[in-house]
Amino acid sequence: MFRPGSADRPRDKARLGLLGMLGPAFVASVAYVDPGNVAANLSAGADYGYALVWVLAVASLMAMVIQYQSAKLGLVTGATLPQAMADRFAGHRYQRPLTVGYGLQAFVIAIATDLAEVVGGALGLYLLFGLPLWAGSIVVGVVAMVLLWVLRSRGEGVFEAGVGALLAVVALGFVGALFFKAPSWDATLAGLWPSVPDRDAWPLIAAMLGATVMPHAIYLHSALAIDRHRPDGHLDRPLRRLLRAQKLDVGLALVLSGSVNISMLLLGAVALAGVVGDPIEAIHVTLGTDLGPWPAAVFAIGLLASGIGSAVVGTHAGARILKDMHVWQVEPTLRRAITIGPAVLLLLTGVSPTSVLIWSQIVLSFGVALAAAPLALVTGDRRLMGEFVDRAWQRALNWLIVTLIIGLNLVMIWWALSRGS
């Protein structure tokens, strides 16, 4: 077994060829199939059928571009996105307020993400075993924290394999459910044409974006690439070869997560049309009633695995963000304790867990631009990136994505204000 920094690590990994360069994107992509995705995508399918498939397709393409840029930043510079921003603030008149402010907003986003993951995992335990939601949130938080410690202590390869296994369970849980409830593929293709059925679809569109392009995954991916390929400060392979491999890594991982997300929407469209009530509980009941206990259990296991897997990644991301922004160092154990509290309190009030999941994703959609814009800024900086600086078309694409995200945020503000008037 090799530890990061081991002298034998690069030579041993070289024997694995291309396979040895894959992994970081699969860890980051677990964040894209968390319980918030389940709630938003099932609700979209239940309320609007196949009409919003295009949102997931566009969001997944955006995520591919953004996640590759994050990985490229880490490999080229050896700095994570939070570190690059901290360095950019260095020497500024308001260096400390800027650094603390940016670090705290990123940390709050990570905590909001964790809230959804803990609540979703608790809902999975409730569906499987009838465990009270508040108790399930504690179980999920503790299990995620222990699992993170065990996997990280055994090195990056084991960490990636463990999180990848959870991703596989999630994929089997939701894609597998379509074998029991087959959708209309003609309607699915028609749903790729952009349309907004009505003004009340905007919150779901924002939730789907916030669930598919996760801010904390943008911050984390650069760190994952560094931990995997620059464990001792030196690249374990030629940089150009690593960058080519990252394109494949990101492509495969996000095609998988995108397929799982679309499967969730299709499941809602085919199984929940005309059904009133909580979509997550409704789909579990529908599968159990129509097809028996096993398909319902497969769905609940997928939900539980998505909660635990994404909570592991979220806990790691939150602690890393504050450390790299030089704000303060928060141990994952403390951060997990901070996160469990709000989840337990919310669930004790009797609030609908699915409502918590959907609104948390809407909030997260406002954090995407705060990660994507700085990333576009630093990867377009020749002084930082050297010969690997973004080309003109890449800069244009990056800022187009940022503009579209900000535009959606403005539409959501308009929607909220118009509802109140």
- Please state which CATH class domain 17-420 belongs to: mainly alpha
Rounded distance, CA 265 to CA 285, Å? 17
Exposed, middle or buried by CB within 10 Å (0-12, 13-18, 19+), for 168?
A: middle
Q: Choose among 169, 188, 175, 180: nearest CA to 45.
A: 188
- Tell me the domain boundaries of the chain: 17-420
More confident residue, 272 or 192: 192
pLDDT tens digits for 104-131? 787 777 777 878 888 889 999 999 999 9
pLDDT at res. 7: 35
The pLDDT of residue 342 is above 60: yes
The pLDDT of residue 350 is above 90: no
Rounded distance, CA 224 to CA 28, Å? 8
pLDDT at res. 117: 85
Name the band, by pLDDT with cuts 50, 70 and 90, for residue 332.
Answer: low
Residue by residue, DSSP assigns 229-263 as H-TTSS-SS-HHHHHHHHHHHHHHHHHHHHHHHHH
Residue by residue, DSSP assigns 137-190 as HHHHHHHHHHHHHHHHHT-HHHHHHHHHHHHHHHHHHHHTHHHHS---HHHHHH
Query: What is the SS3 assignment for 349?
Result: coil
Which residue has 């303060």 as its token pair?
A: 328
Rounded distance, CA 378 to CA 401, Å? 15
pLDDT tens digits for 224-237? 999 888 878 788 88
pLDDT at res. 377: 95
pLDDT at res. 214: 86
The pLDDT of residue 221 is above 60: yes
Dig out the tokens for 139 from the structure.
């179980």
pLDDT tens digits for 52-75? 999 999 999 999 999 999 999 999
pLDDT tens digits for 12-36? 444 456 777 888 898 888 888 888 8
Residue by residue, DSSP assigns 19-82 as GGG--HHHHHHGGGGSHHHHHHHHHHHHHHTTTTHHHHHHHHHHHHHHHHHHHHHHHHHS--HH
Cβ atoms 378, 88 nearer than 8 A: yes
